[in-house]
Structure 1
Amino acid sequence: MPRGGFSAGSRKLELAVDTGNPLLNRTLDGFIKIGAVGACKVAAEDAFECLHKGNVSTNKLEHTLKKMCKEGAYWGTVAGVYVGMEYGVERIRGRSDWKNALIGGVVSGALISAASNSHRDKIVKDAITGGAIATAAEFINYLT
């Protein structure tokens, strides 16, 4: 079962997801963690904007909460698709190496692009970008 958490200083928030299915566990774990990052990004940006303008209203707060949910869901979905693809590739190949990240990134980039875009050239570019980012992240992870 994947375990993960967020830490701030000496405090740590642990989160465990167990559905009984390893693929679903990892996908949900990625969705929740990265979705929270997307929501926090919006909260930070909108808090800065409110402080900069000196204007806080109920309408602005409601807009921020809706935007946090939307961004969190989008970021979480992208992460969930990638994590699920990478795990699936690992299970199919029977190996755990950087090639799983590459293949998972390519497939995820293509799927996400195809869902919102019908231009073949854009889908190919997004697939290449997804594979490159996932592979680079995997290599950086090995270095640390």
Structure 2
Amino acid sequence: MPWSRMSGSVSSPTVDVVIDMGNPFLNLTVDGFLKIGAVAATRSVAEDTYHIIRKGSISSNDFEKTLKKMCKEGAYWGTIAGVYVGVEYGVERIRGTRDWKNAMVGGAVTGALVSAASNGKKDNIAVDAITGAAIATAAQFINYFI
């Protein structure tokens, strides 16, 4: 019985910005800040653009509000990503191994720090630390299997 085989790959262009701070810890932290911060800022612009199009008009006030929101969201999520990546890398260096436990500790510390900076309630800090650990660990397992 005749058969044929086809193989190929699809890839998209990638853009990678590398900033060398002279230290791997700083390099990873800044890289996480820039990448996630850019995603958050882009999401903010897309959301505001949708609302402006729906409204049917744009004013200088809309533009200024969008720009402020874009900077705020980019800085907020970039900072969270930078803290997470930095803590995970630090734990990896201390433990001397790269596994899901580093992600769990990184997520827990990041969740606790964000919660403490946001509201400071002890119950929320513990819950947010557990949530951060769970999300980071789940993401690590999903990344491993894909």
Same fold at TM > 0.5: yes
Identity percentage over the alignment?
64
Q: Is residue 142 from structure 1 mapped to residue 144 from structure 2 by the alignment?
A: yes
Give the aligned partner of residue 5 of structure 1. none
Which structure's CA Rg is the greater one?
2
**Residue identity opposite 1:46 in structure 2:** D
**Residue identity opposite 2:74 in structure 1:** G
Give the aligned partner of residue 92 of structure 1. 94
Number of equivalenced pairs: 136
Q: Shift of residue 62 of structure 1? A: 1.1
Cα distance in 2, alignment partners of residues 11 and 51 from structure 1 = 29
Cα distance in 2, alignment partners of residues 61 and 13 from structure 1 = 27
Q: Shift of residue 10 of structure 1? A: 4.2
Give the aligned partner of residue 128 of structure 2. 126
Q: Is residue 20 from structure 1 mapped to residue 22 from structure 2 by the alignment?
A: yes
Give the aligned partner of residue 50 of structure 1. 52
Q: Shift of residue 12 of structure 1? A: 2.7
Segments ≥4 residues shifted beyond 3 Å: none
Q: 2:70 aligns with which of 68, 71, 74?
A: 68
Give the aligned partner of residue 105 of structure 1. 107
Give the aligned partner of residue 4 of structure 1. none
Q: Shift of residue 42 of structure 1? A: 0.6
Higher mean Cα deviation, 111-120 or 25-34? 111-120
Q: Shift of residue 61 of structure 1? A: 0.6
Listed one character per residue, the Cα deviations across residues 38-78 of structure 1 (whole Å, up to 9, x for unaligned) are: 10111010010011111211110111011100000000000
Listed one character per residue, the Cα deviations across residues 66-103 of structure 1 (whole Å, up to 9, x for unaligned) are: 11000000000000000000000000100000000001
Relative to the length of structure 2, the TM-score reads 0.90
Relative to the length of structure 1, the TM-score reads 0.91
User: What 5-or-longer segments of structure 2 have no aligned partner?
Assistant: 1-10
